[in-house]
């Protein structure tokens, strides 16, 4: 459930993503929240006699999943911020102490873009005149790092965790009301598949994908996970 | 449990990441696999009388979680590939039909880097001489996209799913052998916390973080999730 810990973004796309980090976190949390507790409840419905046990297991899963995902998101955010600070210190130091090597690195970046050696040298000379701008350039284009929002980690943790809880309570809700787990399962399937479809539709809109196809994909994943969990739990119980 | 669907990488870091996509997938799958089934089993241990029910719920969770994460990873990979192809077609078309606008976009990229207007024009003129190189430049630096590995989606799905299963079976193993769930929980805590520590150590090594601090962080998340699930399940059962 870690989301960005081992990945980073282009400066260009990062700009675009900043405005939708919040929505991206909701998608991450709710996607799993709707799917995993739904499948777990479905699995247990084929194996136990009373809904109250499904509720207990479902709530335990929601608590476990939201903490694992929320804290995972928090640590990923903190790691990103720490990484940025330490790389920034290093670049500032390198521009001061080994400027020629840093200029060579600038030239290499433009060589990778396919520019001529003469142009590479002109650019490196121009960039290195302003040290603040130069460090900024190295952070963005050598390392691909943007300055992270200092409150991102906390906001991300809360958004992902709460979205998981909200998503998870939807498939579980019939089990609170109906004591026969198989009857609860029928209602749970109906409600959850509709919610997965609607959620998949908006998720696809946000990530710029064909919305109806995306809605079906999300719904099918949920249905497959639930069917598999039901089958396996029935087999071993 | 989607991992890369709404994010993308810099060309520079992507190069570095390609070699460790496999390891990154293992980390994603095992991180959740060790944590969530562990916490679910812990939660149920405080609420049920027999280990066999913990095993049923745990297996159902592992099936549900591995499918949700594996298929999630597969779809994220497919979406990335589709997105690349459609953007590539668009850039090829734009370079042919609206070259002046595309040259303006090249200039804007270098304006963002802090280069002078004269240099921006020189670079745009040079790049636009070779159309293949030009399209390649726009894909990488305007859109921040790298050509994805065509088999990435399938490999990613299998790696994430299997890592989740392997991770999930570790905390569950004592419940297979010991019928009293509370006794099983003690062994499960011992084994899983050690595994989380070892896993956190290697995860931190791979993501270039301080390994011992990272190992403690991963272990603490697992312990918190398990303790919270245990407490909440005890309260409601």
Residue A209, CA distances (Å) to A78, A194, B141 in order: 30, 19, 22
For residue B13, give the nearest of A9, A129, A88, A100 by alpha carbon. A9
Query: Which of B71, B113, B122 is nearest residue A119 as measured by Cβ atoms?
Result: B122
Helices (H) then strands (E): counts for chain B: 9, 0
Which residues, other chains included, contact B19 with Cβ-Cβ below 8 Å and sequence gap of 6+? none
Tens of pLDDT along A136-186?
888 888 887 888 877 888 888 999 999 999 999 999 999 999 999 999 999
Residues 23-62 of A with CB under 8 A from B: 24, 27-28, 31-32, 35-36, 38-40, 42-44, 47-48, 52-53, 55-57, 59-61
Domain ranges of chain B: 21-236
> Distance (Å, rounded) from C-alpha A94 to C-alpha B50?
62
The two three-digit tokens of residue B233, written as one number: 């399940």
The two three-digit tokens of residue B215, written as one number: 């190992």
Tens of pLDDT along B54-101?
999 999 999 999 998 888 778 877 878 888 888 899 999 998 898 888
Residues 106-165 of A with CB under 8 A from B: 112-116, 119, 122-123, 126-127, 130, 133, 136-137, 140-144
ipTM for the assembly: 0.76
Interface test with B, best of A26, A57, A80, A128 (most B CBs within 10 A): A57
CB-count burial class (<10 Å; 0-12, 13-18, 19+) for B49: exposed
- What pLDDT sits at residue A105? 87
Grouping H, G, I as helix, E, B as strand and the rest as coil, residue B22 is: helix
Which residues of chain A neighbour B217 with C-beta distances below 8 Å?
A: 75
Interface test with B, best of A4, A8, A10 (most B CBs within 10 A): A10
Question: What's the pLDDT band for B7 if we cut at 50, 70, 90?
Answer: very low
């Amino acid at each position: 459930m870690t989301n960005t810990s081992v990945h980073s973004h282009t400066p260009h796309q990062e700009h675009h993503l900043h405005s939708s980090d919040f929505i991206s976190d909701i998608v991450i949390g709710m996607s799993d929240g709707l799917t995993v507790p739904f499948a777990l409840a479905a699995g247990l419905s084929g194996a136990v006699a009373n809904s109250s046990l499904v509720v207990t297991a479902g709530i335990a899963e929601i608590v476990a999943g939201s903490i694992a995902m929320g804290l995972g998101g928090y640590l990923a955010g903190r790691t990103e911020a720490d990484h940025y600070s330490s790389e920034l210190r290093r670049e500032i130091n390198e521009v001061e102490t080994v400027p020629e090597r840093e200029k060579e690195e600038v030239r290499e970046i433009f060589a990778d873009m396919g520019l001529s050696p003469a142009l590479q040298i002109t650019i490196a000379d121009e960039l290195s005149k302003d040290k603040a701008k130069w460090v900024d350039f190295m952070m963005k284009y050598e390392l691909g790092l943007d300055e992270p929002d200092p409150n991102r980690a906390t906001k991300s943790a809360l958004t992902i965790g709460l979205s998981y809880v909200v998503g998870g309570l939807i498939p579980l809700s019939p089990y609170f009301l109906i004591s026969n787990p198989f009857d609860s399962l029928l209602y749970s399937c109906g409600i959850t598949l509709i919610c997965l479809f609607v959620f998949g539709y908006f998720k696809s809109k946000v990530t710029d994908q064909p919305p109806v196809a995306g809605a079906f994909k999300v719904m099918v994943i949920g249905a497959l996970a639930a069917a598999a969990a039901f089958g396996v739990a029935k087999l071993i119980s």
